[in-house]
Amino acid sequence: MQRLLYSLSGASGQHYSPHVWKIMMSLKHKGLDFELKPVSFGDISKIEDGSFTSVPVLNDQGTLLGDSFEIAEYLEETYQDAPSLFDGPGGLQLSHFVESYCKTVLHPTLAVIAVMDMYNIMSDADRAYFRPAREKRFGKSLEDVYAGRDAELSTLPEKLNPVRDLLTNQDWFGGEKAMHADYVLFGTLQWCKVCCPDPILAPSDPVNLWFERMLDLHDYMGRKAVSEAVAA
């Protein structure tokens, strides 16, 4: 049996879903190999048993799972002898807070920053789905959302203040090593790293220095994905 991870991807195979990146990193953290299965928006409802409405979807040797946090909990419980993603029950509970921070503080901003670059790397079929769906959500055209990109980008450094403060005293959310909470924020930012030609963080920002460390983890998986995306 195989281990398959379904991932939204661009026309040239760029994996840009933040939630899929959380699980790509968590699988490698557990030392688990997997095959990435690229899907388009239109394919999501046809994944495996047809019960899923978003990615990631993991088929772990026959066990089907959706939702990145549920997958991380499953991996922690199923592969207990591998390095821990949560380092105990308190770490699992507080990883939910890191999720809530990324979801409510960063996602709305990054959604504006990345919208046009995401659109540009999509297949024609995905563009035909994405444009009306996002224009309905934003209540304006993608071009009008994009017009607010610079203003939105200028708010990002302040929104990262809690992370910057944390990283003044420790190298990872997990202290001396990365844990799932690191992957939650990493996936969130890797979304833009894969889509956007221009950097969204200042080179010397401690958050960027942490992000660069994250790109080096697990045999440079995040870094290779970006260079492949750029080459594509």
Residues that bind a copy of itself (CB under 8 A): 84, 86-98, 100-101, 103-105, 161-166, 169-170, 173-175, 179, 181
Q: Which is nearer to a copy of itself, 130 or 173 (CB)?
A: 173
Question: From the CB of 33, what's the least distance to a copy of itself, in Å?
Answer: 25
Q: 181-205: string of b/e by CB count within 10 Å (b at 16+)?
A: bbbbbbbbbbbbbbbbeeebbeeeb
Question: From the CB of 132, what's the least distance to a copy of itself, in Å?
Answer: 27
**Terminal C-alpha separation, the chain:** 31
Question: From the CB of 184, what's the least distance to a copy of itself, in Å?
Answer: 11
The span from the CA of 5 to the CA of 31, in Å, is 15
Q: Which is nearer to a copy of itself, 181 or 192 (CB)?
A: 181
Q: Which is nearer to a copy of itself, 96 or 224 (CB)?
A: 96
Which residues have a Cβ under 8 Å from the Cβ of 153 and sit 6 or more positions away? Answer: 109, 113, 200
Tell me the pairing of strands 3-8 and 35-39.
Answer: parallel
Q: Which is nearer to a copy of itself, 117 or 182 (CB)?
A: 182
Question: From the CB of 180, what's the least distance to a copy of itself, in Å?
Answer: 9
Q: How far is CA 59 from the centre of its chain?
A: 19
**Residue 80, CB half-sphere, CA atoms under 13 Å: how many?**
3
The span from the CA of 217 to the CA of 136, in Å, is 38
Q: Which is nearer to a copy of itself, 13 or 206 (CB)?
A: 206
The span from the CA of 40 to the CA of 47, in Å, is 10
Q: Which is nearer to a copy of itself, 53 or 169 (CB)?
A: 169
Question: From the CB of 169, what's the least distance to a copy of itself, in Å?
Answer: 7
Question: From the CB of 189, what's the least distance to a copy of itself, in Å?
Answer: 16
Of 55, 6, 24, 16, nearest in space to 180 by CA = 24
Q: Which is nearer to a copy of itself, 99 or 126 (CB)?
A: 99
Question: From the CB of 174, what's the least distance to a copy of itself, in Å?
Answer: 5
- 8-state DSSP, 4: E
Task: Please state whether the peptide bond connecting residue 56 to the residue before it is cis, i.e. omega within 30 degrees of 0.
Answer: yes
Which run of H or of E encompasses 66? strand 63-66
